[in-house]
Amino acid sequence: MRKLMHLLLSPPSRFARLVIGEKRLTCDLVVPDDLFSHLPVFTDLDGTRCEGLWAIVDHLEGNYPDQPLIPEDAQARRETLRLLDWSMGIFHEAVTKKIVFEKGSQRYTGTPVTRAPDMGVVRSGREALKPALAAIGAAAETNGYLASRECSLGDLAVAAHLSALDYFGEVPWTEHPGAGEWYVRMKSRPSFRSLLADRVPGQPPVAHYSDPDA
């Protein structure tokens, strides 16, 4: 059986789960004992072990091409990869790390933070989220999805981060209807079902988190 070592609230782990789901693969989810190893880690049926996000993406795109997640069009392909890089780099540092990693337990994020949340840090993440949501909404209104008319790696990467933020009710959807409409479409995809079923012990999600229509 395929296995994915992951952390429940870690966006790279969530992204890997979404990619695996889009590829229509079955996979056992395993929480590792070492929370600070190079996660996520994917093991395929033939024993191939892929450590880290980029290795997993390369393996799945190369070995399961029937459901491609990188557009053929050159411009859309560049935008897809830019969104992937942006979400896992700039967005992660400016928003997700300051909100999810402050509010979530280290066992589910992988962060070494053990103190109480610093609300000043959380507020700075909230401010950085606003222009990002505006850009996401504009891209979705222009392209259908974020990079093209079809769902791509860029959509999955951005949605992985927003799903972790949404778990805590930290996304002001009503202020950004374009981003909200796009995210509802992402939540409705079969690959999202396992994420919507996530529950962190002692930290339940907000009520709308698991509703694919909200």
pLDDT band at 106 (very low <50, low <70, confident <90, very high): confident
> Which fold does the domain 3-63 belong to in CATH?
Glutaredoxin (3.40.30)
Under 8 Å CB-to-CB from 81, ≥6 apart: which residues? Answer: 70, 153, 154
For residues 116 and 130, give the distance between their C-alpha atoms in angstroms, rounded to a whole number.
24
Identify the CATH class of 74-196.
Answer: mainly alpha
Confidence of residue 110 (pLDDT cuts 50, 70, 90): low
Instruction: State pLDDT tens for residues 34-68.
Output: 665 678 999 999 999 999 999 999 999 999 999 99
Backbone angles phi, psi at 29, to 5 degrees: -100, 130
C-alpha closest to that of 23 among 64, 56, 77, 71: 64
Residue 31: what pLDDT?
Answer: 87
Domain ranges of the chain: 3-63, 74-196
Backbone angles phi, psi at 205, to 5 degrees: -75, 165
Return the minimum-mean-pLDDT range out of 7-16, 99-108, 169-178. 99-108
- Structure-block tokens of residue 78: 């560049």
**Cβ proximity of 33 and 132 under 8 Å:** no
Considering the entire predicted model, what is its pTM?
0.94
Tell me the sheet residues that pair with 49. 43
> Cα–Cα distance between 190 and 202 in angstroms, integer?
27
- For 148-182, how does the pLDDT look when each residue is reduced to its tens digit (9 = 90+)? 999 999 999 999 999 999 999 999 999 999 999 99
User: What does the alpha-carbon distance between residue 61 and residue 64 come to, in Å, rounded to a whole number?
Assistant: 6
**Can you give the pLDDT at residue 76?**
97
DSSP line for 38-59 = S--EEE-TT--EEESHHHHHHH
Residue (of 146, 144, 126, 128) closest to 136 by Cα position: 146
